[in-house]
Amino acid sequence: EAGVAQSPRYKIIEKRQSVAFWCNPISGHATLYWYQQILGQGPKLLIQFQNNGVVDDSQLPKDRFSAERLKGVDSTLKIQPAKLEDSAVYLCASSSFAGAETQYFGPGTRLLVL
Amino acid sequence: RKEVEQDPGPFNVPEGATVAFNCTYSNSASQSFFWYRQDCRKEPKLLMSVYSSGNEDGRFTAQLNRASQYISLLIRDSKLSDSATYLCVGTGGTSYGKLTFGQGTILTVHP
């Protein structure tokens, strides 16, 4: 079974630029999550989708971050404009349904904002 | 106060040692708890679930004390390959399925 795919794996941008990350969850998984993991901290949930609907985006900085999952499969997360403090690993995870015991994480995208 | 708190360590132990990690949580509505393992520069992976009755998987034992809002992970006979960051995780709260991660505890097992 293929795992969660993410791209790009690494990205370096200057502050005020925009960047987009892509995630393809495990086939058939209805729930998709985007997490931000800053160095030395645990992952923090940014947004949770159930199919193509948003379940929780309470911790998403909506003035600069946006995410979509238009067809209920793959998803994109965008930052515009980026700030220095956005430097982090952006992890995508999926589960077969909300509340499923296991969330499967992708390898992450490492973002460095200069 | 953070929802899930862990001692970040690092813990440095010799092979064969027994090591215990502790975690506390503040949201009494949290339903389920887990330990995830994260290797350096890798993604987190589920290690085991935590139940009030205790959960044992080989050398690993996890325990939940709801009265004290306390979670533990015990690793017996440590191996070099156990070196990783161990993340304490709770669910529940405002949205179903939302995982709240602790900061993580760094373990290094040395020869």
Q: What are B64-68's contacts with CB under 8 Å, separation 24+? A: B64/B33, B68/B24
CB contact under 8 A, B43 and A91: yes
Residues of B with CB below 8 A from A48's CB? 95, 97-98
Residues 47 through 106 of chain A touching chain B, CB cutoff 8 Å: 48, 55-56, 58, 91, 95, 97-103, 105-106
> pLDDT of B14-54, one tens digit each?
999 999 999 999 988 777 899 999 999 999 999 999 988 88
Residues of A within 8 A of B5 (CB-CB) are none
Cross-strand bridge partners of residue A77 = A21, A67
Q: What amino acid is encoded at A85 in this protein?
A: E
**Closest Cα partner for A11 from A59, A58, A78?**
A78
Cβ-contact B17, B30 below 8 angstroms: no
Residues A51-100 pLDDT 10s: 989 999 999 999 999 999 988 899 999 999 999 999 999 999 999 877 67
Say which residue the tokens 């179903």 belong to. B96
- Residue B95 confidence (pLDDT) above 70: no
Rg of chain B on CA atoms, in Å:
13
